[in-house]
Structure 1
Amino acid sequence: MSARTQPGFDPTRVPHLLGSFAPVTEEVDAIDLEVTGDIPSSLDGLYVRNGPNPRFTPIGSYLYPIDGDGMLHGVWLSEGRARYRNRFVRTPGLLAEERVGHALWGGLESFVLPGPDVVGPELANEFKDLPDINVVSHAGRLMALAESACPFRMDDELETVGREDFGGALPVGITAHPKIDPVTGEMVVFCYALEAPYLTWSIIDPTGVVIRKATPVEGVDEPMMIHDMALTKRYIVLVLSPVFIDLEGAMSGGSFLAWRPERGTRVALIPRDGGRVRWASDEAFWLWHTVNAYDDGPEGEGDVVLEYVQWSRLTVGSASAASSADPVRCNLVRARIDPVAGRMARTDIDDARVELPRIDDRRIGRRHRFLALAARVEGPDLLPGEFNALRWYDTETNTASVWPAGDLSVGEPVFAPEPGRPSDERGHWLTFATDRTDGTSWFLVIPAEDPASGPVARVRIPVRVPLGLHGSWLPT
């Protein structure tokens, strides 16, 4: 496989390597962080977030949010106090680059792959591990997750333990968005691949044992990119937007990912008991992230309701909706899917520009009331993937509330429930934020009862936290 550099690639001019996205290289430990306001005493645990953070200046290409080494940022909260630690996810590829002091692998679109004389036979001519998208905890394993590959296991202090293949049962890996059923404790995962079987799903029980090995999804006969999934009591929900992995096209100068809207979007409802896959289809749209899904009807029957952020087409990297002849549209959508008839009906919930949706994780697969998202409000020009507000929806009252963040660029809001309170309206929303004027970063604590009032506590992080992707709240 020959190497190539994207035409005009200059890392000093890549938007997602600059400003609030710019990577940091220093690993920091800090205790007794400065707090404005009061950290609620009910918050006792770890908030940890992952995101792309190249250790060395990228070569060949850089495609946000897929490229970049993983870096975990953790804030430990207890008795109203906070400490911070950040650590790289040290994959074999990153360790090899640290030994020589510069990047050896190019971005995914460049195919710059080092040979055996540089990295030895085990890593030679292979893609670099990039567990830089999400971080989840299941069965006592804290895992940094890649787009579609084996996760890397981390210890309680965010140090890298090693590649996690679940005792050899899932050697190809999983994607970045597994779903943990809060009732059964099972973690349901899927994986897409460049070779057949192109799409598989699996189940890992509450103890970490794979109880359903990689099971092919029939009806998928070429490699596709699928970023997220949803879960109900009955089904695994996979949205197959027409984004195809085109290695041949990429090698001849085209894009690694091909958007083919004429193919439309299909939805696979995969029975969790292994039954026949039910399909529905509609006009083409792209989905980065689901909100949640649930069964709506008598036990074992009825439609599937799926909420998600819908994009009119795929955009990655620094592609700008504003400068395109075909502006990209995104909005929050609710789809009702009939598993028997194979019909799908979509309804717009809100047309605000939003992304990174989250609910109370205790409601995954069941009807939820509240959801939160990062949002954009009018003001300064922002890069794709940058947000300057947080937005909440109440699905019972069909109302929305907004907290404009001013000069802060905010990340994904994660819910920390109040201990002992089953309701998803009692607790706090947590996120990192970076000031665009001076580069300072903060950890924000926002009350769920009145989120539009803004943070009750702002924790000063001693280093800048680059804008990143997904995180988890892990109560003690």
Structure 2
Amino acid sequence: MAHHPHLSGLFAPQREEVDVRGLEVAGELPTDLHGSYLRNGPNPRFDPIGSYVYPLDGDAMVHRIELDGGTACYTNRFVRTPQVVAEEEAGRALWSGLTDPYFPPAEEVGPDLANTFRDLPDINVVRHRGRLLALAEAAPAYALGPDLGTLGRESFGGAAPVALTAHPKIDPHTGEMVSFCYSFESPYLTWSVIGADGTVTRGPTPVEGTDRALMIHDMALTQRCIVLVLAPLVFDLGEIFSGGSPLRWQPDLGVRIALIPRDGSAVRWHTTDAFWMWHTANAFDLPDGSVALDYVEWRYPGGFAESREPNASALRRAVIGDGGVTRTTLHERAIEFPRVDDRLVTGEHRVVATVGSTGTQALPAGDADALFWFDVTAGSETEWRAPGFGVGEPSYLPSSAGGPGYWGAVATDRADLTSWFLVFPAEDPASGPLARVRLPIRVPAGLHGAWLPAG
């Protein structure tokens, strides 16, 4: 496993948990930043047995960088699911990877955990109504305490939806958190709402018109509707037991896009040619009743589909309405993880930030050597190349003084494997970081994060 590309180098698991205050800062850390940047990602507690499918496998580790008036602190913790606790007691891995048909028996883990899948809340981390949640792919969320210690599965007062997506959306105007979940059985797709007060205001509601289990990683939200892109990546769990992949790419099915009115009225379905989408940037309503969706589009899901055609990504805009679906290329780049200022979610945005590849070196999936900012109104782009660094997903960091704000991202030096938190001026990110906060341990290349303003 030491030679697995996603278990070595920038991706190698971090097993140490630390709390460090007074971090070293190169440059000048803005004094109008007050809050925390959190990042979650797959991080096996012990060396895996069997397969390892990045980024779906791996235990969760949450990293936090606190910024307060020019100072910085760092904390990291494993999300201790029952499976992680059992493995810590055993001192080794007990569960295999997702694509292996092996589950530990009761003699090893007790009757409650026997023959169960590993919980994997290792994709994203959000805060809603004071709750800090580590999120999985179509599974229950785990609640974390102020010290990042694991409190357990989040039940939302006993009224929890069956599960949440890794990418719920929080409406900055209403305070609601809207989510979806796919399932291997009917109903294959549901949506739910947690109100601004933290209570479940809409339990799991079936999305009428779905007839098969599909992988859907992300969603978008407008002021009027939920946007779900149903690409033809189909689950076939029987394949696991014959040594195959549980996911099959079936492009002949095309793509279906569901516009689900938030008031609970009938779903509007639209179709277009097959493509794959991991992540949305944002969506918003247009005056004529249609919806604009900005997202990163791929020709097919790499790792889950075979094709002689080279895969390629682009930032695209889909306009979805009575006239059908029109997809327009905004920028063609090798990019992923599109983000906007979270305060603009459900409304019109101008700048989309992403990580990507310059194409100057061969990088494994999940690695990146540049940050890009795309002005979708002006049609322009800004680039910051990270010489010698692997960079992660950017997040917008608003200024507490009401200024133009900043962008932040974790980056790791490829030479000495030190990790840094970089802060860029939003007005001119191409000028490079205003400040580089040296982190006390390496943060493995991973997935998603969030900026949580103080207070």
Give the AA of the match of 1:74.
Answer: R
- CA shift for structure 1 position 369: 1.1
Tell me if 1:314 matches 2:301. Answer: yes
> Does structure 1 conserve the Cα–Cα contact (< 8 Å) formed by 2:410 and 2:420?
yes
Tell me if 1:409 matches 2:390. Answer: yes
Give the AA of the match of 1:307.
Answer: D
Deviation by residue 1:12-40 (Cα, 9 ceiling, x = unmatched):
33211111011110111111111100110
State which of 376, 379, 382 in structure 1 corresponds to 2:360: 379
Identity of aligned residues (%): 54
More displaced, 46-55 or 167-176? 167-176
Distance 1:371 1:222 in 2: 32
State which of 135, 145, 149 in structure 2 corresponds to 1:159: 149
Q: Report the equivalent of 1:359.
A: 340
- CA shift for structure 1 position 45: 1.0
- CA shift for structure 1 position 43: 0.6
Q: Report the equivalent of 2:406.
A: 428
Q: Report the equivalent of 1:4.
A: none
Tell me if 1:113 matches 2:113. Answer: no
Deviation by residue 1:90-130 (Cα, 9 ceiling, x = unmatched):
00010000000111111111132111111111111111110
Distance 1:83 1:380 in 2: 33
Written as runs of structure 1 = structure 2, the 5 A alignment for 1:72-471 is 72-297=62-287, 301-316=288-303, 325-338=308-321, 340-341=322-323, 343-419=324-400, 421=402, 426-471=404-449
Distance 1:111 1:369 in 2: 46
Distance 2:401 2:346 in 1: 21
Distance 1:195 1:58 in 2: 29
- CA shift for structure 1 position 325: 2.9
2:302 counterpart SS class = coil
Written as runs of structure 1 = structure 2, the 5 A alignment for 1:10-25 is 11-25=1-15
- CA shift for structure 1 position 89: 0.3
1:249 counterpart SS class = helix
Q: Which runs of 4+ in 1 moved over 4 A?
A: none
> Does structure 1 conserve the Cα–Cα contact (< 8 Å) formed by 2:290 and 2:320?
yes
TM-score of the pair, normalised by structure 2: 0.98
Q: Report the equivalent of 1:26.
A: 16
Distance 2:447 2:134 in 1: 12
Distance 1:205 1:225 in 2: 26
- CA shift for structure 1 position 73: 0.6
> Does structure 2 conserve the Cα–Cα contact (< 8 Å) formed by 1:65 and 1:316?
no
1:348 counterpart SS class = strand
Distance 2:445 2:94 in 1: 24
> Does structure 2 conserve the Cα–Cα contact (< 8 Å) formed by 1:64 and 1:316?
no
More displaced, 263-272 or 249-258? 249-258
Which stretches in structure 1 are left out of the alignment for 5+ residues?
A: 1-10
> Does structure 1 conserve the Cα–Cα contact (< 8 Å) formed by 2:371 and 2:385?
yes
Tell me if 1:475 matches 2:453. Answer: yes
Q: Report the equivalent of 1:6.
A: none
Distance 1:36 1:203 in 2: 42
Tell me if 1:39 matches 2:29. Answer: yes
2:41 counterpart SS class = coil
- CA shift for structure 1 position 379: 2.0
Deviation by residue 1:177-197 (Cα, 9 ceiling, x = unmatched):
000000000000001111111
2:42 counterpart SS class = coil
Deviation by residue 1:254-299 (Cα, 9 ceiling, x = unmatched):
11111111111110000000010001111111110000000011xx
Deviation by residue 1:343-398 (Cα, 9 ceiling, x = unmatched):
10100011111101110001001000111000111322111111000000112211
- CA shift for structure 1 position 171: 4.9
1:248 counterpart SS class = helix
Give the AA of the match of 1:314.
Answer: P
Distance 2:389 2:69 in 1: 27
Distance 1:268 1:70 in 2: 31
- CA shift for structure 1 position 420: 5.1
Give the AA of the match of 1:372.
Answer: A
- CA shift for structure 1 position 134: 0.2
Distance 2:152 2:368 in 1: 33
Distance 2:243 2:118 in 1: 21
Give the AA of the match of 2:297.
Answer: Q
- CA shift for structure 1 position 229: 0.1
Which stretches in structure 2 are left out of the alignment for 5+ residues?
A: none
Give the AA of the match of 2:328.
Answer: T
Deviation by residue 1:41-97 (Cα, 9 ceiling, x = unmatched):
011111110000001011111111111000001111112111111100000010000
More displaced, 359-368 or 391-400? 391-400
> Does structure 2 conserve the Cα–Cα contact (< 8 Å) formed by 1:63 and 1:316?
no
Distance 1:41 1:397 in 2: 31
TM-score of the pair, normalised by structure 1: 0.93
